[in-house]
Amino acid sequence: MSISSKYSQLWWRLHGRRGLLQRVLYNFDEGVSNGFGYSDLRGLSGTQWRNFGTHLQNLYTPWRNRGTQRPHPFQKHVVGCPSCQMLHCGIKIEAEKGLPEYSSQEGAVEDDNENQFLEFPGGKVQFTYDMNFIPESSNKRVPCYRVLDDYGRQVASNGDYEVDRDLALQMYNSMVTLQVMDTIFYEAQRQGRISFYLTSNGEEAINIASAAALCIEDVVFPQYREPGVLLWRGFTLEEFANQCFGNSADYGKGRQMPIHYGSNALNYFTISSPIATQIPHAVGAAYSLKMNKQQACAVTYFGDGGSSEGDFHAALNFAAVLEVPIIFICRNNGWAISTPSSEQFRSDGIVVRGHAYGIRSIRVDGNDALALYSVVSKAREIAINEQKPVLIEALTYRVGHHSTSDDSTKYRRVDEIEHWKMNRDPVSRFRKWLHRNDWWTEKDETDLRSEIRNKILQAIQVAERKEKPSIENLFSDVYDEVPPNLQEQEKKLRETVARHAEDYPNDVPL
C-alpha cells in the first residue's frame, strides 16, 4: 500500500465466523509511531464490538480529494483517543515492530505492492495501483498439441505413451470399421430401412484413440457421436444393427431412436438426445467413484455446441470444487449443427473455460490419433492419481452432415468440407504413419475394408429379420406395478390396433 508518512494507516484482516478483526495497524506522523498493534478480539461481547467500531470511526476520517496526492481511505492520525494504546472497549493494543518505511516526501512510495495482500476466501489477493481490466481474450491462442503432421510423419515423441505395432493395428482396424459402418448405415437410412442415422465421419480418431487410452472400468457418458468408444469396448456389429433397427434384441427394447446406444456391461451409459445433459451426470458418477475409492474415472464427451449449455458450466464448477476424477472431452468440430463456433462464443474455444473454473486443460489435434492417445492417457493418470478433473478440447471437423435430417451444404461451403475430407482425414493420416513403419500394405487395406463391409451387411440382414419388441414394452420397466391409467391406455391401444390392423405394422407382436 503506497501512502505518505503524513497519513495514518488502518489495516485490518477479517477472519473467522464474525469477521474477526485480528490486527489493527496504525502509524502517527510527527515522529510518533506506535508501530503495529495486535489484539485478539475473539471474546468480545456485542456491546464491546459496537464500542470498538465507534472507536475506529473516531480514530480516522475518510479521505477527501487533495489535489494530485494518491487517494487513500484514511486521512489523518488520531483525532479522538489519546495514544494511550487502550481502546474504549478495554482491549490493549500491544506495539509490534516491523512497520514499513515511508518517505517523508509527499506522494513518494518506497513500500512494495508485491508484499501487500488482501486475505480473502480462496487465498491471498495482491493489491495494485494500476487499474487494468483483464482483456477479453489473449493475443496468442492456446497452442494445439500434435504428434503426427498431416502427412503421417511423426514430428514429436509420445513420451511415456508409445503406441506399439499391435495396439496401432487394433486402433486402425477400429477406425476403419467405424468409417465403413457409418457409410453403410447412412445408406440404409437413405433406403428407408432405418428411420435416422448420424455419422462420425472426420472424428474417428477422437472415438478410437480416446477409447484405447481408457480402461473398461472407466464409466463413459457419451453424447451421440462416439459409437467408436463402444466399438472399441467390444460392442458387436450385430448389437449396433439391433439398436438401429429397434428389434427384440435391442437393449432399449425399441424405445429409442437409432444410434442411441447403451451397454451396462461395457460401462457405457445410454445416449440421451437433449444436449449436454450427460455432463453433470458424469460428474456425479465421478464423485461416486471417488467416495468408493475406486481406481477408475468418469469420461464424458460433448461437442462445442454442448459447451454453450448451462449444464456444461455447472458440471465444470461441480467437478473443480469437489475435485472428482473425470475427463471432459470436447469434440470441437466447428459447427453446432448449422451454428459456427464464431457465433457461439468469443473466447478462445473451450480450453480456456477449464482454466476459468480451475481445471487443468489442454488443446489437442483431434485428427491425430497418437496425440489423442497420449493426452487421454495422461489425463486418466491425473484424474485417478490426483483425483482431479481434466478438460480436453480436441480440434476436429465434422465432414458429414449433422445427421440424416441435415444438409450441411446449406450453411457450409463444399470446398471447405472437401478440404478437410481430403487433406486432414484422421484415418488416412494414421494409415500413412502405419505405412512409414512398414506395418501396413495396400493389400491389407483392401482385405480389411472388404471383410468389414461383408460383416456389416450380414449384421443388417439378420437385424432386419428379427421380430420387433412386443407392444407391452411401451408400458413396462417404469413402475414396479403398472398403475391403472397405463393399464387402461394399453387396453385401448390394443383395441385400436385390432380395429385398424391395416394401419399398423404386422411385425409388432401384440
Active site residues: 187, 273, 402-403
Q: Hey, what's the cell of 300?
A: 464424458
134 grid coordinates: 483483464
Q: CB of 482 within 8 A of CB of 443?
A: no
Element holding 215 (H helix, E strand): none
Distances (CA, A) of 352 to 232, 307, 346, 357: 30, 12, 11, 9
Angle made by CA atoms 289, 290, 295, in degrees to the nearest 5: 65
Question: Cell numbers at residue 131, please?
Answer: 487499474
Instruction: Measure CA 325 to chain center.
Output: 12
Cα-Cα-Cα-Cα dihedral sign, residues 154, 159, 161, 164: positive
Q: How far apart, in whole angstroms, are the C-alpha atoms of residue 122 and residue 76?
A: 33
Backbone angles phi, psi at 197, to 5 degrees: -160, 160
Residue with cell 445433459: 277
Q: Are 331 and 225 in contact (CB under 8 A)?
A: yes
Other C-beta atoms closer than 10 Å to the C-beta of 107 total 12
Given the C-alpha cell 484415418, which residue does it identify?
427
Amino acid present at 225? R
DSSP 269-316: PPP-SSTTTHHHHHHHHHHHHHHTT-S--EEEEEETTGGGSHHHHHHH
Q: If 0-12 CB within 10 Å is exposed, 13-18 middle and 19+ buried, where does residue 392 land?
A: buried
Tell me the backbone φ, ψ of residue 8, rounded to 5 degrees: -70, 155
* Closest to 321 (Cα-Cα) out of 358, 351, 354: 358
User: How far is it, in rounded angstroms, from Cα 498 to Cα 472?
Assistant: 15
